[in-house]
Amino acid sequence: MSSTLRSTPCLSLLLKSRTIAHQPKTSPIAASLPLDRRRHISAYGYTQAKALVYPKHGSPADVLNLHTHSISPPHSNLVTLRTLAAPLNPADINQIQGTYPTAPPFTQEFGTAQPSAVPGNEACFEVLSAGSGCKSVGKGDWVIPRRTGLGTWRTHLQVAEDKVMKVNKGGLKAEQVAIVSVNPVTAYRMLKDFTPLKEGDWFIQNGANSGVGRAAVQLGKMWGLKSICVVRKREGVEGEALYKEMQELGATVVVDDEEIREKGFGERVKEWTNGGREPLNLALNCVGGDDGMALAKTLDAGGTMVTYGAMSKSPLRVGAGMLIFKDLRFLGFWVSKWGDRFPDEKEKTIDEVLGLIRDGIFKDVPMVEVPWSYETKKEELLDAVQGTLEGFRKGKGIFKFCDT
């Protein structure tokens, strides 16, 4: 018998039925959406996603690529998420470079030629769909990553529901929710957890116009604390505008990083603190090096300096006299590790901060929105990433997703 298939009525009917069965269909979900929102839903409910990925550590400009892949419908305890906003933080860049203590895993789940990772630690997501086993979140809810390393620089993703935390989205913008879990929480915990502070006490901080610094100023004012805020020196109108902005946020005193290193600065501090009778027992340091030690020199005996960053990339050279005669404490704080150890406390802190934002008590940090649509080119996204590495910026960079 010949091995060549001959056309028969049954075979023709079978081939015809297979062709029909595999013709693309518009899913019910996609059909119910406006035309500009249907792009991410394809045949059989698959979600078309785009992500910035990197196959190895290195300079973002050298290793980041924009990759397209498909996400299957969720089942069990899985949720499919659409990213609404995702900030660009220095820690995200460090993860790409391979210089951060934690990093997202390299995986082949995206269908890339090499195992790749997605950068980004913060975001606000909308739940597009949820598996039948999901209990804590549902379609339309807003969620944020429960831990760092989720990989947020992408239009869509699918994760187990315990990887995200639901937030009350009422009265909030996606950008506000996207940046709540790192900077405001860091400021809140440093002011609360390291040394007892009462109304009328002082704290001093460098990097005061950063996200953490702005949060600390506002929280401190709410709690009746006074603050000495150190910012990088800016000339002319720009410097005057920054001083005014910090004072409007609640800073008691604003100085630049050159003033704090001047001889006699300690006498100025004594004058501000009512001859030293008002305690100055806490310093918040994100710069390190000589700038960090200049903060420590202003502290009262028994004071505490908390380091949460090292922008200068220079070590702290602690003099023996600070330890022996002033009995200063030098401690560190990493909000990611704290959040992993105390997840319930983290959730409470986030809820409280979001409440303050919702009530208009807590002001947003300046932001530079980077639109990300389905048509956005890789080069546009990489330009925004590169901007995060620059010294003076007009605001925090944040991907704002639209038409994805």
Amino acid at 115: P
- Token pair 């187990």 is at which residue? 160
Amino acid at 185: V
Q: Which residues contact 238 (CB under 8 A, 6 or more apart)?
A: none
d(CA 389, CA 387) in angstroms, rounded, equals 5
- Token pair 């949820």 is at which residue? 130
Q: Which residues contact 82 (CB under 8 A, 6 or more apart)?
A: 40, 125, 126, 128, 155, 156, 401, 404
| DSSP at 209 | T
Of 185, 317, 335, 206, residue with least CA distance to 260: 206
- How many C-beta atoms surround the C-beta of residue 25 within 10 A? 12
d(CA 54, CA 115) in angstroms, rounded, equals 9
The helix (run of H) or strand (run of E) holding residue 179 is none
Of 163, 160, 146, residue with least CA distance to 339: 146
Burial class (CB in 10 A: 0-12, 13-18, 19+), 111: exposed
Of 297, 363, 352, 364, residue with least CA distance to 330: 297
374 flagged as catalytic: no
Active-site hit among 54, 100, 188, 243: 100
Strand partners, 83: 125
Of 64, 90, 154, 53, residue with least CA distance to 383: 64
The helix (run of H) or strand (run of E) holding residue 354 is helix 343-358
d(CA 46, CA 42) in angstroms, rounded, equals 5
Q: Give me the active site residues, please.
A: 100
